[in-house]
Structure 1
Amino acid sequence: MTLPASVEGAPGTTGATEVPGTHPAGGAVGIGRAHAKAIVLGEHAVVYGAPAIALPVPQLTVTARAGWSSHSGDDGGDLSFTMSGSASRAVVTQASHSLRRLVGAFKERMGVHDGPPLEVGLDGAIPPGRGLGSSAANSRAVVMALAGLFGRELTEDMAFDLVQTAENMTHGRASGVDAMTVGASAPLLFQAGRARRPAIGCDDVFIVADSGTAGSTKEAVELLRAGFGQRAGAQEAFVQRATRLVDQAGRALAEGRPAELGARLTDYHELLHDAGLSTDRIDTLVRAALAAGSHGAKITGGGLGGCVLALASPQAAGRVTQQLLEAGAVRTWAVPLRGRQP
């Protein structure tokens, strides 16, 4: 899978930095950053070759710091890992396991074998289990921090491959959408392992609303697969319907027809709902967004919890946000679309 260099950053390189500064071991500190993402349309079907549209959520960021340590890690190894925030112990343990393997993959890829123990810390605001790409963002931030610490220049292809390796460890068969979008500066149209910036003719606002309930991509994938196995042709029908909705939404996005774009969001929510991937709480938020005057709304991410994504005009965005909060959303973020050509 390849992310064209023109999509993000300077041609062929990432934004890794090496920042000299005070550190317990007296060495340099590498700093890396990434941000959240939301899937506009294409969840689940993208794994089967359908297109997907993904949206960077720059308001939610994670920063990683990598440096040298004067002592061994907690397990006696050559890496100590810390993670700030309110994540549960289970989330921290899973993230730690995945990121330790990511550090090993980075060292092998970069030909780094010996050296003092490493100390890696993550400080982020992306809530886990919400379909916002927290694991991919954590991985990208760590990769960028390690590149800075070791003074390595990474191409986007190299960064993507490393993040995707970690995503496959965490989620099984990952589509690559998260690994690409957490480093992108604009929406992406993704299909068959490649991404490009779609044309944008709308100046509307996407509102991401956290339901307060974590979802489970793994459980959702297993549920969907089980449903496919119960009826001949179910998988093909799901993928074909998803593909049509994404294609129609892409044209509406490019041609500046937000009402049609929003309608396709709602249609896609119905597709996921019928597959058993929504919840009562999510459905309540979707109805609230529609009643408040949004163009459309849907669950975003793997499903069985997580967030709702609504599209509204700038004039209606405040009203939609308020209605979502009154309907039970625990927090919201607004991501403006800005009409422009890729």
Structure 2
Amino acid sequence: MGIGRAHAKAILLGEHAVVYGAAALAVPIPQLTATASAGWSAGSAQAGAADNLSFTATGSVTRTMVTQVSESLRRLTAAFKARTGVTDEAHLDVIVDGTVPPGGGLGSSAATSRAIVLALANLFDRDLSDADAFDLVQTAENVAHGRASGVDARAVGASAPLRFQAGRAAELAIGCDTLLVVADSGSPGSTKEAVRRLRASFTGAGAQERFVERAGRLVDTAVAALAAGRAAELGAQLTEYHALLGAAGLSTDRIDALVTAALDAGSLGAKITGGGLGGCMIALTRPEHARTVTARLHETGAAQTWVVPLRRASGHV
């Protein structure tokens, strides 16, 4: 039996613009995990077990996600075997237990794929480099979302907040004593539909360039504020980025209500996170305000909340 683990992530700033070459800032959420186990089945003649693979999911997983993962798992397994030289054709059983909410914008599909990749490496006794693991997760992400930027594939294995751009990641310098309160709206988003809607919003000459340029300025200002410990300035960039995504039609009334509630309760900034059209929002909050912000978000309709320290994590899951 091989075991693999990965965790959730939240995009602090830069979602969507990162696909067009801008930078994105991502934060690991180690308390939300995906754990995969992979082993050889006693028999291969199982109903629906095409290509010598069976997939089972437990935890926070929807029927739609099971279908998506089942489809991408075959490509992922084939790519893993090709890259690592595995020729074994025995029937594989893969089981994933996840606590990352699907459609929440927290990297559920990437975390699941990374956990599976690491479980296969463990099962077949293969040493994977970070680059190998990233490339394999990207294989599955491109199946799930179309053209994926790579930020999710990198962040679900990171131990610290990252700046990601054009396939390269670097740890962020952090001088703020703050928290991120993550709230699930209870309504799953759709990355593919959000990408389509954003492209449709680029009407007129230079519209795409203006979106990417403004996003890049907000990200750059946030990086400097985060490093210098200017928490209020960092929060303002989050709120402005939410307005940018909202103007493109990527937010929802429920998300907007949660953003307003977080700001009214004392958060320094708040925004939708991830693909959009539902899912989760994040609120940059000082520790002394976290309880009030969390309570207000639940009063406003948040299905779940999590509190994530904005600092270097102690290690990988």
Which TM-score band (shorter chain)? Answer: over 0.9
Q: Which residue does the alignment assign to 1:237?
A: 210
Alignment partner for residue 259 of structure 2, among 258, 283, 286? 286
Matches within 5 A, 1:30-45: 30-45=2-17
Counterpart amino acid of residue 159 in structure 2 = S
Q: Deviations over 1:206-229 (max 9, x none)?
A: 01000000000000000010111x
Secondary structure of residue in 2 paired with 1:121? strand
Please give the secondary structure, in 2, of the residue aligned with 1:189: strand
CA distance in 1, matches of 2:59, 2:115: 16
User: Deviation at 1:311?
Assistant: 0.4
Counterpart secondary structure, 1:151: coil
CA distance in 1, matches of 2:166, 2:257: 33
Equivalent residue, structure 2, for 1:273: 246
RMSD in angstroms over aligned alpha carbons? 1.2
Alpha-carbon distance in structure 2 between the residues aligned to 1:86 and 1:305: 17
Letter in 1 for 2:155: T
1:333 to 291, 294, 306: 306
- Residue 257 of structure 1 is matched in structure 2 by 230
Q: Tell me: CA distance 1:41–1:67, structure 2 relative to 1, closer, same or farther (3 Å).
A: same
Indicate the SS of the match to 1:180: helix
- What is the one-letter code of the residue matched to 1:106? F
**Residues in 2 aligned to 1:86 and 1:313: alpha-carbon distance in whole angstroms:** 29
1:71 corresponds to which residue? 43
TM-score w.r.t. the length of structure 1 is 0.89
**Who is 1:305 aligned against?**
278
What residue is the counterpart of 1:246 in the other structure? 219
Identify the residue that residue 106 of structure 1 maps to in structure 2: 80
Find the counterpart in structure 1 of residue 136 from structure 2: 162
Shift of 1:107: 1.1
The CA distance in 2 between the partners of 1:338 and 1:45, in whole Å, is 24
Provide the secondary structure at the position in 1 that maps to 2:59.
coil
Range moving further from structure 2, 322-331 or 109-118: 109-118
Whole-angstrom distance in 2 between the partners of 1:118 and 1:102 = 13
Name the amino acid aligned to 1:137.
A
Q: What is residue 116 of structure 1 aligned with on the other side?
A: 90
1:240-294 Cα distance to aligned partner (Å, 9 max, x none) = 0000000000000000011000000000000000111000000000000000000
Q: Distance in 1 between matches of 2:8 and 2:113?
A: 12
1:94 corresponds to which residue? 68
Secondary structure of 1:138's partner? helix
Deviating 4+ runs (over 6 angstroms): none
Contact 2:39 2:123 in 1 (8 A): yes
What's the offset of the Cα at 1:338? 3.0
Q: What corresponds to 1:17 in structure 2?
A: none
- The CA distance in 1 between the partners of 2:186 and 2:174, in whole Å, is 31
Q: Is the 8 A contact 1:45 1:242 kept in 2?
A: yes
Provide the residue aligned with 1:130 in structure 2. Answer: 104
Q: Which runs of 5+ in 1 are unaligned?
A: 1-28
Conserved in 1, the CA contact under 8 Å of 2:138 and 2:150?
Answer: yes
Structure 2 residue runs without a partner (length 5+): none
Q: What does 1:165-244 align with in structure 2 at a 5 Å threshold?
A: 165-228=139-202, 230-244=203-217
Partner-residue secondary structure (3-state), 1:84? strand
Could you say what secondary structure the match of 2:135 adopts? Answer: helix
In the alignment, the residues of structure 1 paired with residue 138 and residue 49 of structure 2 have an alpha-carbon distance, to the nearest angstrom, of 28
Q: Distance in 2 between matches of 1:305 and 1:277?
A: 8
> How far apart are the structure 2 equivalents of 1:220 and 1:326?
27
Match of 1:6 in 2: none
The alpha-carbon deviation at position 339 of structure 1 amounts to 7.3
Secondary structure of 1:264's partner? helix
TM-score (norm: length of structure 2): 0.96
> Secondary structure of 1:214's match?
coil
In structure 2, distance between residues paired with 1:232 and 1:177: 28
Give the aligned partner of residue 10 of structure 1: none
Report how many aligned residue pairs link the two structures: 311
State the secondary structure of the residue aligned to 1:272: helix
Q: In 2, are the aligned partners of 1:202 and 1:339 still within 8 Å (CA)?
A: no
| Residue of structure 2 aligned with 1:56, choices 18, 28, 31 | 28
Letter in 2 for 1:192: A
